[in-house]
């Protein structure tokens, strides 16, 4: 009797576990919502939204979308799976992330994270607007990232530091007033970064764009203006880094700092390839140091810098 009774209890326990597991799985929706008047105890549906991105992400299935119903600050969030967060609407939703990171991405090697229509405001104490540690692809679209002023190595609009091979795409975005820099690409020891930046404004940061070893970066149709130090910097310690800059306005960077430049390649395997750019009003226009190369297609306008500088090499068009 006891054996039969125990067997029955085990069957019932197993069935209960199965039902609970499936209930938990079904609790994750493919689309969820947040609102300034929401509550994280809610299911994050359109009619019963959550209050924070952190509250919504646990209730959103991998590959799903979190939407903002209204403008608001929805809190810092750590992302560990494929997800889209969309501020949407007439005014952007986002984060007000004083003394922390706005968004941390630490996802799987094949995961795709999309952030769009968001404002990430560090309130002049933030660490980084976005800190990327791991993942397959990060897409940043129609964003505003500002007010990150924590001490180095923080204070960045975007810190892209992949531990593996990862991609970053930034489009239609304003990154301004970050005391550590606009965008820094600095792969880890086993990392490699492929980066595309288009129609983006890097304004009034410590520097505009910096790429370190094991980075390949394209910057197009963008404005790099008023940054305290270098506008564009390729920095090689011992391995290759290449920035291709095409059709950008690179102006008024490093004013008052004579060792800085609008476009700089520094280190033995650093190169910046430039075409169709306006480089003006910088401390130095073009600068190649410590074995770096600035390679020009001969179609740039380098004028009215304190020192215009010259390309270390040219490429003929074909």
Domain with residue 101: its CATH number is: 2.160.20.10
Note the pLDDT of residue 27: 66
- In the predicted structure, residue 24 carries a pLDDT above the cut 60: no
Note whether residue 13 is domain-resident.
no
Cα 287 to the chain's mean position, in Å? Answer: 26
Note whether residue 152 is domain-resident.
yes
Structure confidence at residue 88 as a pLDDT band (50, 70, 90): confident
Higher pLDDT, 24 or 204: 204
Note the pLDDT of residue 21: 41
Note whether residue 11 is domain-resident.
no
- The CA distance from 90 to 31, in Å, is 20
Note the pLDDT of residue 17: 45
Structure confidence at residue 313 as a pLDDT band (50, 70, 90): confident
Starting at the earlier edge strand, list the strands of the sheet with 165-171.
29-34, 60-68, 83-86, 112-116, 137-141, 165-171, 192-198, 215-220, 241-246, 270-275, 293-296, 313-314
Note the pLDDT of residue 91: 56
- The CA distance from 290 to 271, in Å, is 11
Structure confidence at residue 72 as a pLDDT band (50, 70, 90): confident
Read off the tokens for 80. Answer: 């560990």
Read off the tokens for 232. Answer: 């564009």
Note whether residue 15 is domain-resident.
no
Q: What share of the chain is helix, strand, coil (3-state, %, to 5)?
A: 10, 45, 45
Note the pLDDT of residue 15: 44
CA proximity to 66, closest of 24, 104, 106, 118: 118
Q: Match 């007033």 to its residue by tokens.
A: 177
- In the predicted structure, residue 122 carries a pLDDT above the cut 90: yes
Note the pLDDT of residue 305: 98
Tally of CB atoms within 10 A around 39:
13
Higher pLDDT, 25 or 273: 273
| 43 CB-side CA count, 13 A | 12
Q: Calculate the average pLDDT of the chain.
A: 91
- In the predicted structure, residue 82 carries a pLDDT above the cut 70: yes
Read off the tokens for 228. Answer: 């305290």
Count of domains forming the chain: 1
Chain segment 37-50, per-residue pLDDT in tens: 999 999 999 999 99
Q: Confirm whether pTM is higher than 0.95.
A: no
Note whether residue 219 is domain-resident.
yes
Read off the tokens for 47. Answer: 């009619």
Calculate ∠ Cα 254-124-280, nearest 5°: 20
266: left (phi over 0), alpha (psi -120 to 50) or beta: beta
| Contact of 276 with 299, CB cutoff 8 Å | yes
Percent of all residues in the chain with a pLDDT value above 70, rounded to a whole number: 90
Note whether residue 25 is domain-resident.
no
Chain segment 96-107, per-residue pLDDT in tens: 899 999 999 999
Cα 19 to the chain's mean position, in Å? Answer: 40
Which residues lie across from 44 on neighbouring strands? none
- In the predicted structure, residue 26 carries a pLDDT above the cut 70: no
Note whether residue 16 is domain-resident.
no
Note the pLDDT of residue 11: 42
Note the pLDDT of residue 18: 42
Note the pLDDT of residue 316: 61
- In the predicted structure, residue 93 carries a pLDDT above the cut 50: yes
Read off the tokens for 227. Answer: 């940054």
Chain segment 192-206, per-residue pLDDT in tens: 999 999 999 999 999
- The CA distance from 20 to 155, in Å, is 43
Note whether residue 20 is domain-resident.
no
- In the predicted structure, residue 111 carries a pLDDT above the cut 60: yes
- The CA distance from 237 to 120, in Å, is 31
CA proximity to 50, closest of 65, 64, 66, 63: 66
DSSP 243-268: EEEES-EEES-STT-TT--SEEEEST
Structure confidence at residue 76 as a pLDDT band (50, 70, 90): very high
Domain range for 206: 30-314
Structure confidence at residue 14 as a pLDDT band (50, 70, 90): very low
Calculate ∠ Cα 114-58-190, nearest 5°: 55
């Amino acid at each position: 009797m006891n054996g039969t009774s125990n067997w029955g209890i085990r069957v019932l326990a197993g069935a209960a576990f199965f039902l609970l597991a499936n209930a938990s799985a079904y609790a994750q929706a493919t689309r969820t919502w947040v609102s300034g008047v929401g509550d994280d105890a809610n299911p994050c549906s359109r009619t019963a939204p959550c209050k924070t991105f952190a509250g919504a992400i646990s209730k959103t299935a991998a590959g799903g979308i979190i939407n903002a119903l209204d403008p608001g600050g929805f809190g810092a969030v750590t992302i560990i799976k494929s997800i889209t967060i969309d501020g949407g609407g007439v005014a952007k939703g986002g984060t007000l992330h004083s003394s922390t990171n706005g968004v941390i991405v630490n996802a799987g090697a094949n995961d795709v994270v999309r952030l769009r229509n968001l404002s990430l405001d560090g309130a002049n104490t933030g660490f980084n607007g976005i800190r990327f540690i791991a993942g397959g692809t990060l897409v940043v679209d129609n964003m505003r990232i500002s007010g990150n002023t924590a001490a180095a190595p923080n204070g960045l609009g975007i810190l892209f530091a992949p531990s593996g091979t990862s991609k970053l795409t930034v489009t239609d975005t304003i990154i301004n007033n970050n005391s550590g820099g606009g965008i820094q690409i600095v792969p880890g020891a086993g990392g490699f970064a492929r980066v595309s930046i288009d129609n983006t404004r890097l304004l009034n940061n410590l520097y505009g764009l910096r790429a370190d070893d094991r980075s390949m970066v394209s910057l197009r149709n963008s404005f790099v203006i008023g940054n305290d130090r270098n506008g564009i910097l390729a920095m090689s310690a011992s391995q290759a880094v290449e920035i291709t800059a095409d059709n950008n306005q690179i102006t008024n960077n490093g004013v008052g700092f004579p060792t800085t430049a609008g476009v700089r390649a520094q280190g033995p395997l650093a190169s910046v390839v430039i075409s169709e750019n306006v480089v003006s009003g910088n401390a130095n226009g073009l600068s190649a140091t410590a074995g770096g190369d600035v390679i020009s297609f001969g179609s740039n306008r380098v004028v009215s810098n304190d020192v215009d500088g010259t390309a270390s090499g040219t490429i003929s068009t074909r």
